[in-house]
Amino acid sequence: MKKNKKSKKKFKKAELYQAVLNIFRRNPRGLFNYKQISHQLQSNSPEMRQQVGRVLKILEKEDIIEQVRPGKFSYIPEYSLLTGTIEMTGRGVGFVYNEEFEQDIRINPSLTNKAFHGDTVTVELLSQKGGKRQEGRVVEIIERQRHQFVGTVEKLQKFAFVIPDSNKIHVDFFIKQRDLNGAEDGDKVIIELLEWAEKFDQPQGKVIEVLGQAGENDTEMHAIVAEFGFETRFSPRALKESLQCPEIISNDEISKRRDMRGTTTFTIDPADAKDFDDAISFKVLDDGNLEIGVHIADVSHYVKKGTALDQDAYDRATSVYLVDRTIPMLPERLSNDLCSLKPEIDRLAFSVIFKMNKEGRVLDYWIGKSVIHSNRRFAYEEAQEVIEGRSEEMKDIIPLLNDIAIKLRTKRFEAGSISFESDEFRFDLDEKGVPFTVYKKVRFDAHKLIEEFMLLANRTVAEHVFKKMKKAPIPYRVHEPPNPEKLEPFIAMAKKFGYRIEASSDMALAQSINKMVEETEGKMEASLLHPLAIRSMEKAYYTTEDTSHFGLHFDYYTHFTSPIRRYPDLILHRQLMQYLDGKLQADQGDIEKRCRHSSKQEEKAAKAERASIKYKQVEYLSRFEGQRFEGVVSGVTDWGLYVELVDNHCEGMIRIKDLEGDFYEFYEREFSIIGRRTKKKFTLGDPLTVIVKKTNLHKRTVDLVIAS
């Protein structure tokens, strides 16, 4: 579709140009003269009519509209066709995003024309009625986003169906007997789409992998990984390359690096961690200042661009963290061994070494490759004991580092950084992987200590490249300011609970959110407002464009500290070493392509993690069908109420059809469902006593009803 930027520049009143164009877009089959358009714009003044007439001439000249009869104009049909990506809801409604529309274009389930969630499609705009959302219908599928799907086999006598796991796929796949590949009834499988013929209501597929019997823990976890397009196995070539990586570090390699093996060094990680990708070193200098090193596993030494190892890492772009396992970006030989900064063994690192005073002020820094020797591996709980004075180990080091971290964090918040801390929950699993306890993850000062020094290293590297290396391209981590419209629901909900969110400036927004976070600590509304605040923000992503990070309030920011589990960090390490060697030329287009891919993979990995959590929540609550729980309304939609249970923080839904005694309607701006006759109101934050009515592991749903 043509852009209209030139016309907007020629015509001074760009807003009027766009408004007239939108009238034709909303009514692609309509016929209008300048008076009717002026009336729709709620202004019939002679000046407005004259201006509208000028816009009509411009649009006609550009072949966007045509004069069907004297003074009457109509949209040229090809301009009612737009291209975009379709996203499906759980009810089969599609929404297509196109940059020329502020809102997504709504597609009714009957008009999706065999499109799957994520496909690139051409949409024909339909006439818009009464100011409602623009609607359309899919007329062409330009590109399928995926050709493989995960589901459960339902076997009949001569053929079978596969019922997809994803609630965004609203059709079962027909499988011929010869295409079952040994799958039996009830098996969880990966299928490949063969075709979806025009005359058939269902697509045809073939089984390409049998994952196991549905309902078994390993099967379900592998199914979730496959559903979001991640591989669970590495290619034979990549595994072979990982085994060929040398165990012993040569003296020649050590001679090229800064030798930090004589400096006290340690790691702080979760108690059950298997890979340690960052370490801290500490030394008091002769002038009384401190040398604090942030050391990151030198993955780029082992994973060279263009190798099978690199291709497998790029395809994944991230490690995937499920409830009971990690699907690593790199083979275990690297992630759990050679690139893991284990205690009492020499390891290669990429380091940022700071000269700091005890107030946390950076006086100088050095960036480069090093060799380190970790003296001690701490679990977060062990480091916390040192901070609280309950352990004597490194008592002169860790509490001092924690004090500096607190000062760094305080300065960061004062500068406009936002305190985003949503609750995380963990499951205790039995030997079969079935959850029997749900508990809240505790964040210690030790967590924040490590986090603060990692932020400092990331920020320092980004600023160094931008300011001292002629803006040579790297993968920046970007977080744009929030869209004011997306903020409105959060601001309104915070106000309902008595908290004022000020959005007049970025600084005012950050300060008011931080104040809300502090004041809601330990209160019921925290579990509602904190996630809502996060959802109202834009998603962070990777790009070579040097855009700032809104949430952290950093002008320049990158990811340097986790190349074991994030591909952009690996790109950064390679580019950074090249730049440190004086080679400032780079293929920015290639880096940008890899940034976009990594951002997409990161989003899919987050969805896979949430899917695994949801599965375990449903599995946990399946033991409590028929039992009562206290809950809080955590979400309101036009199909029902989401309720978070107080005891275990699992979430279920009260469907609108299960609300008895009235016909209930959804009021989006009020975050409420209200009875038409009784005016009974259910809204966000309402406490409710509910009963677990039904759980469905296949669909990962929990149905609740209000207890009488």
Check which CATH number belongs to the domain holding 172 and give it: 2.40.50.700
Is 433 domain-assigned? no
Considering the chain, what percentage of its residues have pLDDT values greater than 70? Answer: 96
d(CA 584, CA 578): 7
Task: Read off the pLDDT band of 7 (50, 70, 90).
Answer: very low
643 and 702 Cβ atoms separated by less than 8 Å? no
Looking at the structure of the chain, the number of domains it has is 6
- The residue segments making up the domain with residue 630 are 625-706
667-682: per-residue pLDDT in tens? 887 889 999 999 999 9
Q: How many other C-beta atoms can be found within 10 angstroms of the C-beta atom of residue 503?
A: 16
Q: Based on the domain organization, do 629 and 656 belong to the same domain?
A: yes
Residues 41 and 178 in one domain: no
Query: So what's the pLDDT on residue 546?
Result: 82
Q: Are 548 and 555 in contact (CB under 8 A)?
A: yes
More confident residue, 13 or 156: 156
Q: Do 240 and 387 sit in the same domain of this protein?
A: yes
| Domain assignment of residue 442, yes or no | no
Instruction: Indicate the residue type of 581.
Output: D
Q: How far apart are CA 43 and CA 70, in angstroms?
A: 22
Please tell me the distance from the alpha carbon of residue 117 to that of residue 562, in angstroms, as a whole number.
Answer: 31
On whether both 116 and 50 belong to a single domain, the answer is: no
CA proximity to 299, closest of 587, 569, 590, 542: 569
Asked if 650 and 506 sit in the same domain, the reply is: no
Q: Which of 411, 438, 469 is the last residue of a domain?
A: 411
The answer to whether residue 109 scores a pLDDT higher than 80 is yes
d(CA 623, CA 612): 18
What's the average model confidence in pLDDT over 182-192?
Answer: 95
Q: Give pLDDT, residue 652.
A: 96
Are 605 and 685 in a shared domain? no
Average the pLDDT over 312-318 and give the result: 98
pLDDT tens-digit map of 497-542: 899 999 889 899 999 999 998 898 878 788 888 888 988 999 999 9
Q: Is residue 424 part of a domain?
A: no
Confirm whether 445 is domain-assigned: no
11 pLDDT exceeds 50? Answer: no
User: pLDDT tens across 392-428, in order?
Assistant: 999 999 999 999 999 999 999 999 999 877 778 889 9
Do 292 and 386 have their domain in common? yes
